[in-house]
Structure 1
Amino acid sequence: MLPYLLLIVISSVTSELCPYVYDNQSYTRTSILTIKGLPTNLVVNPHTNDLLFTLIDLESLQNDEVQTKMDQYILRNGEPIKIDNVNGQDAAVDINYNKVYIASDDGLNVLNKTNKANFVSLKDEDIVQIYKPRNKDEIYAVIYPENEVYIINLKRNEKKKVDYVPCAYIIAVDEEDNIYYECDSKYVKVLLKDFQEPIEFVGIAKNTARAITVDSNNRVILATNDGLYQLRPDSVIPKKLMQLDFIPAGIAFNEDDLYISTNSIIYKYSQTECE
């Protein structure tokens, strides 16, 4: 009888320590940063474990008469470091070459060893989103004001407009070059490689998608008002992986660790203490 009781006690303790469930796995949750504003556009550099994010000033966001104020940050060893020589709006990591790219209102930049942004391409372009696929020397860039999507060839320093994606407010690209995005319709769609007509996912409420990324297993993960979903190119029905009790603003993965941001907070979800 004792082993059975011990099993119940261990299970009870684990459920108290790890009450958060993602993809049927138990997780702990820790607040790793509290900061004034809305941290979004999360991305992790796995070489350094740095977490990059864009901080949006909420007062300027809610004022239609002024330009929204945004700053780019690095969260390193629990300390936020502002990239203060550029008006950063998003970041992307080239994992193969250990490079960090910064999208700004005046082109594409790369982060140097002193945490400064050096200009590399697209002078005078207002880039609001970037996404770097793992398997190609290309960056997908969303350029304001039309929010059109371009592919930037990093070796040739050339840009090419992506056909059949009218605009994007969030964007991710899987290893098969399928493009997942949200545009003016406020519904999430996927444009399959070599196709012309995008496919709309069902079951996701209009205007509730907040962030999208691709995890280390090439799974496309969407963060919405009510939770996290896996999007697949062969199904219009998303698979729900996690329920959330807050509205997310950003999402990123570093192996098994999961980062989700919301107003003034960045959370880290981990399995370490749950195994």
Structure 2
Amino acid sequence: MRALKKIIAIYFTTFFINVNGEKCERIKIGDEFYKRHLLATIDGYPTGIVIDPKTENIFFMLNKRNYTKGIYLLRHGSLGVKELLISDDIIGQCVGIDSVNNIIYIGTNQGLVTYDYSRSEINTERPIGDDDVRNIFIDKTDNQMYITTGSNHEIFKFINGSAAVKRFDKVPKAYNFVLDPQGNAFYEFVDGRLYFLSVDLYEPVQYKGFTRELKFILQLSNNDEAIVAVKGSMFKLNTKSILPTKIGRLGFKITGMAFDFRNNIVIGTKGKIYRYKPIDSNDPCPSDDYFMSSI
């Protein structure tokens, strides 16, 4: 009987720790509190994270020291990541998801190719163009696709869903950029600084308060706000102020960031990929987080 009571006491002590200890730590990002879940442990650091809204699969570039190991896929609910095999002479450099037409685009040093879920492979037989594609942005408002090409990081947009492109004059050069639903552009220029170009202005405006960085992580949130990650912090950008608004500090260097339709935030850092889930204010310790949340 004593042994049984001891086991019950250990169980309830463990349960209490899970409810009130580490597994219930919260972090505030913006106006909401989030809880962190470990999705995957990887050998390297993930960049260029994108989420397929239909499958909730996660694509990312896996980097190790000074070279890129390739494009990887973390399937929803899976415990491990898988490399997407590609020809030896083709280098995968970014991923863009056209959810309207259900197409996964892979930007490479030899044009745009696609990924086929049914065959679990990258189809390189009919590439779109032969440009060195460094970045892909697909505007959710009109499904317009933009690509950043070459070492000069020039931006082009596709014309009427065809394979023909024309230069995007609003942002002549950039490492990456996003357009909000109003048509305001936020981008990292090739001088390593962040700018915005408002639809109400004729000239770009530089954000203040950042030291010069290479490769800011710039994304649109689920609320269509421009969010930038710098080192271990996240900032919100708008066209009303040249000062970014800090919305969260994660305590580690952020190497990749993406937002899904459930208001979750997927964050990459060295060796790990996390998902930050909003906490229900009525249930600050959700039951599905009590056990096995970090497997």
Normalising by structure 1, we get a TM-score of: 0.84
Q: CA deviation at 1:143?
A: 0.5
8 Å contact 2:24–2:35 — kept in the other structure? yes
In structure 2, the CA distance between the partners of 1:197 and 1:31, relative to structure 1 (3 Å rule), is same
Q: Whole-Å Cα distance in 2 between the matches of residues 202 and 134 of structure 1? A: 28
1:143-158 counterparts in 2 under 5 A?
143-153=149-159, 155-158=161-164
Q: Is the 8 A contact 2:100 2:143 kept in 1?
A: no
- Offset of residue 14 of structure 1: 8.1
Q: From the superposition, tell whether residues 262 and 237 of structure 1 become closer, same or farther in structure 2 (CA, over 3 Å).
A: same
1:267 aligns with 2:266: no
Are residues 1:231 and 2:237 paired?
yes
Determine which of 60, 63, 88 is the counterpart of 1:56.
Answer: 63
**Paired position in structure 1 for 2:95:** 91
Code of the aligned partner of 1:69: T
| Residue of 246, 255, 259 corresponding to 1:240 | 246
Q: Give unmatched runs, 5+ long, in structure 2.
A: 1-15, 287-295
Match of 2:205 among 189, 199, 203: 199
1:133 aligns with 2:132: no
CA contact (8 A) 1:107 1:124 kept: yes
Taking the aligned partners of 1:263 and 1:196, their CA distance within structure 2 comes to 40
| Shift of residue 26, structure 1, vs aligned partner | 1.9
Distance in 1 of aligned mates of 2:134 and 2:106: 10
Q: CA deviation at 1:195?
A: 4.8
Range with greater deviation from structure 2 (23-32 or 118-127): 118-127
Q: Distance in 2 between matches of 1:121 and 1:176?
A: 32
Q: Alpha-carbon deviation of 1:52?
A: 0.8
Residue in 2 that maps onto 1:176: 182
The one-letter code matched in structure 1 to 2:83 is K
**CA displacement at 1:243 relative to structure 2:** 0.8
**Structure 1 stretches of 5 or more lacking a match?**
1-8, 62-67
Q: Which amino acid aligns with 1:162?
A: F
The answer for the alignment partner of 1:252 in structure 2 is: 258
1-structure distance, mates of 2:37, 2:139: 28
Structure 2 residue aligned with 1:5: none
Contact 1:231–1:239 (8 Å) recurs in 2:
yes
Match of 2:191 in 1: 185
Distance 1:149 1:97 in 2: 22
* Cα distance in 1 for residues equivalent to 2:73 and 2:208: 35
Say which is worse superposed, 221-230 or 90-99, in terms of deviation.
90-99
Q: Indicate if the aligned counterparts of 2:60 and 2:95 stay in contact, CA closer than 8 A.
A: yes
Deviation at 1:219, TM superposition (A): 1.1
- Is structure 2 residue 53 aligned with structure 1 residue 46? yes
Which residue, 4, 14, 19 being the options, matches 2:26? Answer: 19
**RMSD of Structure 2 on Structure 1 (CA):** 2.5
Deviation, 1:71, is 0.8
* Contact persistence 2:135–2:147 (CA under 8 A): yes
Q: Counterpart of 1:187 in structure 2: which amino acid?
A: R
TM-score (ref. length: structure 2): 0.79
Q: Map Cα deviations across residues 71-98 of structure 1 (whole Å, 9 max, x no partner).
A: 1111112321221125221111222223
**CA, structure 1 residues 22+15, in 2 after alignment: closer, same or farther (shift >3 Å)?**
farther
Following the alignment from structure 2 to structure 1, what is the Cα–Cα distance between the partners of residues 73 and 28? 28
What CA distance in whole angstroms lies between the structure 1 residues aligned with 2:84 and 2:199? 35
Question: What number of residue pairs does the alignment pair up?
Answer: 258
Deviations, residues 213-232 of structure 1 (Å, cap 9, x unaligned): 11221111111114111111
Q: Aligned equivalents of 2:21 and 2:259: distance in 1?
A: 23
| Percent identical residues | 24
Higher mean C-alpha displacement, 32-41 vs 199-208: 199-208
Query: 2:122 is matched by which residue type in structure 1?
Result: A
- AA paired with 1:72? I
C-alpha contact (below 8 Å) 2:205/2:242 kept by paired residues? yes
> Larger % of strand: which?
1
